[in-house]
């Protein structure tokens, strides 16, 4: 089992703190020697997950929290962004419209598109009234070229 390090960050679920998470995950990704483009991808994906929490998770409270757990290993960067808000039916998320017809904010639809496009894998775990966790993984830079497909 490879050595891994865990970084945890908790912020208030308020829009002004999403930039703080971006700075934190940017530092983590830099430490893992991702290139600039990959760091941007990770920042956007993490920011989209946090934005989703800010916009949807805590409609009736102002003291909600966002928890980020980043697990660094030789192989990959695993990131989990969790809230304990209202959750949703993960099989039927909000509209995926990308034409702005939902109003000023796109909501989860486009954010999820970004997460899926920019990360190597992603997953949403959510249940009404129990919160949401969005997990995402970016494979470590070296692992994208060499391909030692050992036991999984």
Partner 1 sequence: MIDFSVEIDKQGPLPIIRVKGEIDVYTCTQLNTSFQEVIQAGAKDIVLNLENIQYIDSTGLGTIAHAAREVQQSDGKILVVCPKPQVRKIFEISGLTSKNITLFDDEPRALGAKNA
Rounded to 5 degrees, φ, ψ at 90 are -65, -20
57 binds partner 1 (CB under 8 A): no
We find the least distance from the C-beta atom of residue 73 to partner 1, in angstroms, to be 26
β-bridge mates for residue 101, sequence order: none
146 binds partner 1 (CB under 8 A): no
Among residues 72, 87, 106, 119, the one that binds partner 1 under rule CB under 8 A = 106
d(CA 26, CA 53): 19
Look up residue 31 and give its DSSP letter.
Answer: H
Stretch that binds partner 1, among 13-21, 70-78, 122-130, 141-149 (CB under 8 A): 13-21
Among residues 11, 28, 79, 118, the one that binds partner 1 under rule CB under 8 A = 118
We find the least distance from the C-beta atom of residue 71 to partner 1, in angstroms, to be 23
Closest C-alpha among 134, 116, 115, 114 to residue 124: 134
Nearer to partner 1, 92 or 101 (CB): 101
Are 90 and 124 within 8 A, CB to CB?
yes
Sheet holding 76-83, edge to edge: 4-12, 65-73, 76-83, 131-139, 121-127
104 binds partner 1 (CB under 8 A): yes
Look up residue 29 and give its DSSP letter.
Answer: H
Residues within the interface to partner 1 (CB under 8 A)? 15-16, 18-20, 22-23, 36-37, 40, 43-44, 47-48, 51, 54-55, 98-106, 110-111, 113-114, 117-118
């Amino acid at each position: 089992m490879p050595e891994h390090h865990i970084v945890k960050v908790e912020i208030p679920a308020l829009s002004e703190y999403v930039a703080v998470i971006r700075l934190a995950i940017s530092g983590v990704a830099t430490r893992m020697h991702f290139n600039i483009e990959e760091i941007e991808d990770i920042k956007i994906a993490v920011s989209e997950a946090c934005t989703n929490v800010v916009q949807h998770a805590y409609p009736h409270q102002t003291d909600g929290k966002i928890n980020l757990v980043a697990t660094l290993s030789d192989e990959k960067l695993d990131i989990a962004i969790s809230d304990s808000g209202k959750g949703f039916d993960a099989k039927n998320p909000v509209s995926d419209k990308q034409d702005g017809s939902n109003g000023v904010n796109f909501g989860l639809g486009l954010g999820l598109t970004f997460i899926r496009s920019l990360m190597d894998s992603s997953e949403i775990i959510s249940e009404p009234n129990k919160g949401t966790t969005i997990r995402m993984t970016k494979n470590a830079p070296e692992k994208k070229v060499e391909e030692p497909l050992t036991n999984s």
